[in-house]
Amino acid sequence: MRVAWITGASSGIGEALARHLAEEGWAVLAQARRQDRLESLAQAYPGRIRPFVGDVRDPEACHEAVQEALRTFGRLDAVIANAGISHRALVEEVALSVLRDVFEVNFWGAVHAIRAALPEVRARRGWIVGVSSVAGFRGLPARSGYSASKFALNGFLEALRTELYGTGVCVLTAAPGFTRSEIREKALTATGELQGESPLPEARLMSAEAVAAALYRAMLRRQKYLVLTTQGRLTVWLNRLFPGWLDGLVYRHFLREPESPLRSAASGQR
């Protein structure tokens, strides 16, 4: 039985991944901070999903997660560094602490998890998966810290993949497009409060379950990259070819969002 450690498994993509892998016969160490969520997930898959409460910003907690996976299941084949948070505010308005918080979780949290798991995963010729974003290939307005954290993650994963060349370890950079989850509800405002609601029509977005299924297929094929949604793939591709032209397109797209911070900037309300 293969074993995966998934960070950020209490909701959204991480929870869907935990369920998907358990249904595919894997054992899963499911990590996040919300114990009640993890426990009800684990109860649905007895013997398959083990809850682990821990914060990815703490390297010790990540080290302990690996030990817990080894104690419980005897091995660790894959780490899926998925825990992430977002924010919505303009560069001029956002508190530096918000940008730092986003980096602590999205970049440093992934680094802590991947470094803790690396010796075990390498011994198993297993998988290192970083859940990045289309925003890691194309910076998005009012998400500067989020975009930067995902660009940083992409660079880290590319460097690591090259270091692990020839070892048989698969390093997968997974970039979902807009996916139905709690991420926008939990996104931080300029001052660090929770946004509380999503500006997107969540029901029309790709489901976390579909993302999980695609990501698992990419793992089995030992892919290096996975970019999801047609809009996401088009964005990455167009940005490589016509980055300047895409500025206007992306600007207009995000200007149309409800209560877009770009709108107040455009009308000089700041």
Ligand X SMILES: NC(=O)c1ccc[n+]([C@@H]2O[C@H](COP(=O)([O-])OP(=O)(O)OC[C@H]3O[C@@H](n4cnc5c(N)ncnc54)[C@H](OP(=O)(O)O)[C@@H]3O)[C@@H](O)[C@H]2O)c1
Q: Contact, 72 vs 50, CB < 8 A?
A: yes
Q: Which of residues 57-76 bind ligand X (CB under 6 A)?
A: 57
**Whether 146 is catalytic:** yes
Q: How far apart are CA 96 and CA 100, in angstroms?
A: 6
DSSP letter assigned to residue 84 = -
- The yes or no reply on residue 130 touching ligand X (CB under 6 A) is no
- Binding ligand X by CB under 6 A: which of 8, 51, 141, 261? 8
Q: Which residues contact 120 (CB under 8 A, 6 or more apart)?
A: 66, 69, 70, 75, 76, 126
Q: Which stretch binds ligand X (CB under 6 A): 82-90, 162-170, 219-227, 259-267?
A: 82-90
Smallest gap from residue 116 Cβ to ligand X (A)? 13
Q: Which stretch binds ligand X (CB under 6 A): 44-52, 72-80, 182-190, 244-252?
A: 182-190
Q: How far apart are CA 32 and CA 265, in angstroms?
A: 36
Q: Which of residues 219-248 bind ligand X (CB under 6 A)?
A: none
Smallest gap from residue 179 Cβ to ligand X (A)? 4
- The yes or no reply on residue 261 touching ligand X (CB under 6 A) is no
**Two tokens, residue 64:** 């302990």
Q: Which stretch binds ligand X (CB under 6 A): 55-63, 88-96, 241-249, 253-261?
A: 55-63
Strands of the sheet with 170-175, listed across from one edge: 49-53, 27-32, 3-7, 78-81, 127-131, 170-175, 225-227
- The yes or no reply on residue 13 touching ligand X (CB under 6 A) is yes
Run of H or E including 50:
strand 49-53
Question: How many amino acids of this chain bind ligand X (CB under 6 A)?
Answer: 31
- Binding ligand X by CB under 6 A: which of 10, 147, 239, 260? 10
- The yes or no reply on residue 14 touching ligand X (CB under 6 A) is yes
Q: Which residues contact 157 (CB under 8 A, 6 or more apart)?
A: 128, 130, 132, 171, 173
- The yes or no reply on residue 183 touching ligand X (CB under 6 A) is yes
Q: Contact, 89 vs 15, CB < 8 A?
A: no
DSSP 216-238: HHHHHTT-SEEE-SHHHHHHHHH
Q: Which is nearer to ligand X, 3 or 135 (CB)?
A: 135
- Report strand pairing: 49-53 vs 127-131: unpaired
Q: Contact, 206 vs 176, CB < 8 A?
A: yes
Q: Which stretch binds ligand X (CB under 6 A): 26-34, 64-72, 216-224, 242-250?
A: 26-34
- Binding ligand X by CB under 6 A: which of 19, 21, 84, 156? 84
- The yes or no reply on residue 51 touching ligand X (CB under 6 A) is no
Q: Which is nearer to ligand X, 52 or 73 (CB)?
A: 52
Q: Which residues bind ligand X (CB under 6 A)?
A: 7-14, 32-34, 37, 55-57, 82-85, 105, 109, 131, 133, 176, 178-179, 181-183, 186, 208
Catalytic residues: 146
